Structure 1
Amino acid sequence: MHRKLVIGDIHGGLRALHQIMDRAKVTTDDTLIFLGDYVDGWSESPQVLDFLIDKSKKQECIFIRGNHDQLLLQWLDESKDNLQWYQHGGESTVLAYSKVNSATKQKHISFLRNLQNYYLDEHNRLFIHAGFTNLNGIEYEYFPRLFYWDRTLWETALALDTSIPRDSFLYPKRLKLYKEIYIGHTPVTKIEQTIPIQKACVWNIDTGAAFNGPLTILDIDTKEFWQSEPLNELYFNEKGRN
């Protein structure tokens, strides 16, 4: 059966990625939508990119750009880095790339350059790493970097008074534009959860794999989901982004 499956932030956790592929019994008939942040955190960022590139040769894959992916691209392609990036997972990525040859680095640069800022499917379901701010939607966004840096969309959905009817002027316009919005970027562990969380039309699939949470894959139509073991258990001798 053809499924559309969405995957949360991976952050260098290849072992978790293998686990969710096995547990969801992913086949080449499935379409895989990755929400970004493939790197920075655990020690296998280059191997995660190799896995994704190989996977895209075997089945339909959609790769969304995350902020950490953009930071890695700037480092690989422009030798641009910063202390803040190092402190938020970049250090493990730099160390991992010390063992990667130049041909593979070029392959990864090409992959990172070609990531999509968002994907809107035929059912008006939006897939984006972080969010958007323009009240008319993604096509009108003045600041495209917010597609992978914004947190206000999730904060708005999280803080929404559920007693406000959808047709009210008070209901946030951004939450009326799309049937569903799938995001990562802000882990639900911040609200002490480790499963996908829906608020209004927004589904947050980042279940904290960068820290002590699991990696998640979710069937968009049935909402069934599968998870890896917590990443700190899979990489027990590493700190991730903790």
Structure 2
Amino acid sequence: MSRKLAIGDLHGGLKALIQLLERINLSPKDQLIFLGDYVDGWSDSANTVTYLIELAKQNSCVFIRGNHDDLAHRWLEKDEKNEKWLEHGGQSSIDAYRNFSEDEKKAHINFFREMFNFYKDDEDRLYVHAGFTNLHGPDFEYHETSFYWDRTLWEMALSMKDNLNPEDQFYPKRLQHFKEIYIGHTPVTRIGESEPVKKANIWNVDTGAAFKGAISAIDVNSKEIYQSDPVFTLYPDEQGRN
């Protein structure tokens, strides 16, 4: 039986991703929906992208664009170097590409170009790295950067009363468009959690892989959760984004 698995932020932690997929016992029939931020953090950023390109030849994969992916893409294709990006993991990606050929870089640029800002499945579920701001839904978003930078969707969900009914007049309109929304971008470790967290109808699958957390996956049908070891334990000689 095939599964549909949403996978949180990777941040160059290839060793942890491989470990996670082994624990999932991945089948070629499984669909993988990656929620973005494949790079910037651990030393395997470039190798992670290579791995994902090959993985997509064996499994059905959806790659959502994260803010770090957009910044790395801008550097690879246009040599843009945002200072804040360099401070928050970008330098690790620059270092990771030092020994890559121009042909390999071109393949990676194409990978970044083809990412989705968001993805909707046939069961009324949305997958997006960060969020969206338009009350009418992501199809009406004014600026695509919201999809990979916005934190207000998650902040709103955190502030809501747990018992607020979707039929209530004050239930946020942004949440009414989908049965469930799967995001990354804002680590749940910031609220003291280590596994994916559900608030309202939003599942946050970013469990802090760039810092002290694991890479996580969730079966969107069964809600079974899979995790790697904390990524930093697999890169003991590195600092990550501490």
Which TM class, normalised by the smaller chain length?
over 0.9
Alignment pair present for 1:79 and 2:76: no
Gaps of 5+ in 2: none
CA distance in 1 between partners of 2:187 and 2:224 (Å): 19
- The answer as to 2:210 corresponding to 1:206 is no
Paired with 1:101 and 1:71, the residues of 2 have a C-alpha distance of 20
1:29 corresponds to which residue?
A: 29
**2:109 maps to which residue?**
109
- Measured in 2, the distance between the counterparts of 1:60 and 1:162 equals 35
Per-residue displacement from partner, 1:158-188 (whole Å, max 9, x unpaired)?
1102243221221111111100000000000
- Give the distance between the partners of 2:164 and 2:28, measured in 1 at CA: 42
Structure 1 runs (4+) greater than 6 angstroms displaced: none
Unaligned runs of 5+ in 1: none
- The 3-state SS of whatever aligns with 1:107 is helix
- Secondary structure (helix, strand or coil) at the match of 2:203 reads strand
Name the structure 1 match of 2:91: 91
Q: State yes or no: 1:142 paired with 2:122.
A: no
Alpha-carbon distance between aligned partners in 2 of 1:30 and 1:186, rounded to the nearest angstrom: 26
Tell me the alpha carbon deviations over residues 89-117 of structure 1, each in whole angstroms, 9 at most, x when there is no partner.
Answer: 00111111111111100000000000001
Q: Please say if 1:7 is aligned against 2:7.
A: yes
TM-score by length of 2: 0.98
Q: Matches of 1:216 and 1:166 in 2, distance apart?
A: 28
- Code of the residue aligned with 1:234 in structure 2: it is L
Q: Which residue of 1 aligns with 2:154?
A: 154
User: What is the rounded CA distance, in whole Å, between the counterparts of 1:58 and 1:76 in structure 2?
Assistant: 26
Show CA shifts across 1:24-77 (max 9, x none): 101111001000000000000111001100011112110100000000000000
Aligned residues: 242
SS of equivalent residue, structure 1 residue 203: strand
Alpha-carbon shift at residue 144 of structure 1 (Å): 1.1
Pairs within 5 Å for 1:40-189:
40-189=40-189
Letter in 1 for 2:224: E
The amino acid that maps onto 2:98 is: S
Cα distance in structure 2, aligned partners of 1:92 and 1:199: 32
Please, what TM-score do these two structures have when normalized by structure 1? 0.98
CA distance in 2, matches of 1:128, 1:162: 23
CA distance in 2, matches of 1:132, 1:62: 19
Which residue does the alignment assign to 1:194?
194
Paired residue type of 1:189: T
Give the counterpart letter for 2:123 in structure 1: H
Displacement of 1:150: 0.4
- Output the CA distance in 2 between the equivalents of 1:200 and 1:74: 34
Structure 1 Cα separation of the partners of residues 70 and 234 of structure 2: 26
